[in-house]
Amino acid sequence: MSKHLKFFIDGAWVDPVEPALLDVIDPSTEEPFTTISIGSRADVDRAVAAAKAAFATFSVTDRAERLALLERILTVYNERFEDIAQAVSREMGAPLAFARDSQAWVGRAHLEATILAFKNFEFSEQRGTTRIVKEPIGVCALITPWNWPLNQIVCKVAPAIAAGCTVVLKPSEIAPISGLIFAEVMEAAGTPKGVFNLVNGRGPEVGQVMAGHPDVDMVSFTGSTRAGIIVAKTAADTVKRVAQELGGKSANIILPDADFETAVRKGVEGCFGNSGQSCDAPTRMLVPAARHDEALHIARETAELHKVGDPGAEDTVLGPVVSDVQYNKIQRLIELGIEEGALLVTGGPGRPDGLNRGYYVRPTIFGHVTPDMTIAREEIFGPVLSILSYETEEEAITIANDTVYGLAAYVQSQDIDHARRVAAQLRAGSVYLNYPDWDTSAPFGGYKQSGNGREYADWGIHDFLEIKGIVGWGS
C-alpha cells in the first residue's frame, strides 16, 4: 500500500506534486480494495524531464548493456510472478489460474521474445555508398489499458529499452497495481534513473498531457478507438510519432470444410476468454446458412459450461468484467441485440443466477444476427458472441471486411490451402488459421480504425527507432 500512493520518477518513489486520490475497485465485490494517487501536468513535467535527461546517456549505451538490463528485468519479473498474478486477479477480476497462465505469463513471454529478437537485431546496414542507421526516437509516452495490463506494458517498455529510448508509463487507473509492481521490477533490476518513469492518473489529466508534451518524441497508446483519436489529435500539434493498437470486431469464418463442432466450440471459448475483454476476440462467428441452427446448438452448450463467479474459486471460468462502466455498456448492447431482432440463444441481460453483486455478465450467444445490427458492428468487450450466416465464401469475406476495424480475423478449415486463400482476402493485421497457439514473435496491430504500427518482438523495436541515411559514407 505504501507505494500505491507514489509515482516512480527519476529512479525514486515520489509523492505527487498535487495530492489527489482515487479508489481502486475490486470488480467482484464492487468495493474499493486500495487507493492510488492520480497525477497532474506537474507530475508529467517532472517525469518527462527525468526521461529527457536520461536519454542523453542511455541512447548511446551499447547493445550488451541494454541486453543485460532486459535480462535482469526478466529475472526479477519471474521472482515477482505470483505478486503480479495476484494483483491482476484483484484489480480486473481475472480468475487466478487465468491471471497466472495468461495474464502474468504473457508479460514473461514478451520479455523473452524481445530479448531473443534484440540479440539478432540489425541497427545499421550499407546500401551502396549510403549507411542506413536506426537510432532511438527519444522520450516515449506509453499509455496502456486495463484488459491485458502486463501484455501491453511489456510490449511497449521492453522494445523501447532495446531501442535505447527512455519512457514515461501511464497504466490504466482502473487496473494500476500490476503496473506499480512492474515499476518495482524495473527498480530492482537496476534500471538507470530516468530511463523508466511511472505516473498514475486519468486520461485527460495525464494521458493527454503526455501525448501533447513538447519534450515527448513518441506516443504508444493501446485502448479504445475513441480515446486513440483524442491522443492522435493531441499529439498532432507537436508532429510526434503515434503508434496505436485500438478496437476490433473480429470475424471468425467457419468454412464448410471445417471440423464444425470443434470450430464452433473453440470460437465460443475464444470470444469469451478474459470475460470477452480482448480487442482481438472473435466476436462475429460466420457460419454456412444451412448449418446455422447446428451452430447455435453447439454454441449454447459451450457457453453454458462457462461457470461465472468468484475469481478465487478453482472452478470459475469467467470472472466479472472490470467496472460498472463496462458492465452497463455490455447490458445496453445485449438489450439492443434483443430489440433489433437477433435470436437470444442463451444468456441475456442481468447477472448470472446466484450473483447479486459484482460486475458479472451472463455468457451470451445471439443467433440469426444480420450485418447491420448494432451487436454485429460495435465492439461489446464482454462475453457476447454474435453468429451470422453466409451463403457463399465470397459473401463471408465481404461480411468479414465490412467493418471500420481491422485488428484480427479467424479462418477455420481442414484444408490449410483453402484457409490460406481466404486469409489473403481479409483486411486485418492478424489472421489466425485453425486456432493456433499464441505467437509472441508475430506482428500485432491493425488495419483501418484498429490503429497503426506493430508490436511484439522485433516488430515492436522498429516502432521506437528513427531511420537516418548517411549519404556518401562509402565514397
Q: Which residues are catalytic?
A: 245, 279
How far out from the chain centre does Cα 114 lie? 17
Question: Residue 7 — φ and ψ, nearest 5°?
Answer: -110, 160
**Who contacts 415 (Cβ-Cβ below 8 Å, separation ≥6)?**
257
CB 389 within 8 A of CB 288: yes
Rounded to an integer, what distance in angstroms lies between the CA atom of residue 379 and that of residue 190? 40
* H/E run at residue 125: strand 124-127
| Sign of the Cα pseudo-torsion (42, 47, 50, 52, in order) | negative
Rounded to an integer, what distance in angstroms lies between the CA atom of residue 405 and that of residue 349? 26
CB 347 within 8 A of CB 363: yes
The secondary structure of 33-70 as a DSSP string is: EEEEE---HHHHHHHHHHHHHHHHHHTT--HHHHHHHH
Rounded to an integer, what distance in angstroms lies between the CA atom of residue 259 and that of residue 156? 37
Residues in the chain: 475
Question: In terms of Cα–Cα distance, which of 409, 436, 438 is closest to 425?
Answer: 409
Rounded to an integer, what distance in angstroms lies between the CA atom of residue 425 and that of residue 307? 37
| Sign of the Cα pseudo-torsion (112, 115, 120, 126, in order) | positive
Give the CA distances from residue 142 to residues 119, 221, 245, 346, in Å, rounded to whole numbers and listed in that order.
Answer: 24, 6, 12, 39
Rounded to an integer, what distance in angstroms lies between the CA atom of residue 134 and that of residue 164? 11
Beta-sheet strands, E only, within 292-342? none
Question: Residue 167 — φ and ψ, nearest 5°?
Answer: -135, 155
**Who contacts 152 (Cβ-Cβ below 8 Å, separation ≥6)?**
144, 145, 222, 245
